[in-house]
Amino acid sequence: MPIFPNNIAQAADKVVTQADADRLFVLTDEHTHDLCLPLLSSVRSLNNAQHITIGATDIHKDIASLTHVWQQLVQGGATRHSLLLCLGGGMVTDLGGFAASTFKRGIRYVNIPTTLLAMVDAAVGGKTGINFCGLKNEVGVFSEAMEVIISTDFLRTLDAENLRSGYAEMLKHALLSSESLLSQHLGFDLAAPNLNRLQELVCLSVDIKSRIVESDPHERGLRKALNLGHTIGHAFESMAMEKGRPILHGYAVAYGLACELWLSTQLKGFPQSAMRQVATFVRNFYGRAAITCDDYEHLYELMSHDKKNVAGQINFALLSKVGKVELDCHASKDLIFESLDFMREGL
């Protein structure tokens, strides 16, 4: 289970000291190097660490950045007894975890997520990887971090859009949990967030994901539930990247949730009232996806490349009610297009 310390510097110092690595490397992107690394300035065990910095944002979650990290590890004399500390958002923890897990067939790594999205999603659960050929997370491995240290202190420097991006994954976890938790999340004011209350919700969200991952670490069963909103969401994300107008992952997930909950009402009897409540929340805080009907065919093609697909069929995780997931669901092309209509016109 991740660590939720009162003092991030003390927690990081303890974890690094106990690791007893022969060489220590700290991976940041250009933003977290400037904004977040100073919070660890008092960590004595980091005094001799070698720093690796990559470009910020998801456009740098690619083979070029991965190669750069590997090169820096080689030049820094990293061995199988070294440790990589990944300080950043989901892009850094995904790419850093993949770099560590494949370098010399695997070295240890620690995640210190600095965005809400990374705290409740990317940094927890052992999924690592990079984008490839315009597709999200197309290449990667399952590999658990040695430790995940979560501190909401980092959220004080997080902008509103990135906060909302992470919250979409929390909304997904609530949908997978209970009506009570969903109600709490829908009642949270994202326009004026209370960080103390947010920290309580983050702990609950991480616990939900951790329990699912623990029961199914390699996504052969229940863990597929975490893909709710992601089959269509990843298609939105990939297309936006292709067009040179990238959107944040959580925004794509929010749009995907609206579409896939609509599919859930049509195919699995998910309550219309709950679907409408979530869709209204998405409209109010995330707007609508910038798509037209001319994009539908390409979005469908992108969905057909999803890693969860089996025998050429697009696979969905849908809900029959809040807290009740239905795995390996399929929808006709026409119905998928109708869900996109709902995203464009029904929200």
Q: Does residue 197 lie within any of the structural domains? A: yes
β-pairing, 108-113 vs 83-88, is: parallel
Rounded-to-10 torsion of CA 81, 83, 84, 90: 100
Regarding whether 263 and 148 lie in a shared domain, the answer is no
Tens of pLDDT along 51-89? Answer: 999 999 889 999 999 999 999 999 999 999 999 999 999
Regarding whether 134 and 282 lie in a shared domain, the answer is no
Regarding whether 56 and 25 lie in a shared domain, the answer is yes
Q: What does the pLDDT read at residue 135? A: 84
Average pLDDT, the chain: 94
Regarding whether 182 and 135 lie in a shared domain, the answer is no
The total number of structural domains in the chain stands at 2
334 CB-side CA count, 13 A? 1
Range(s) of the domain holding residue 323:
164-346
Regarding whether 120 and 21 lie in a shared domain, the answer is yes
Say what the pTM is: 0.89
pLDDT over 70 percentage in the chain: 99
Of 136, 157, 178, the residue that ends a domain is 157
Regarding whether 183 and 298 lie in a shared domain, the answer is yes
The closest alpha carbon to 250, from 271, 268, 230, 267, belongs to: 230
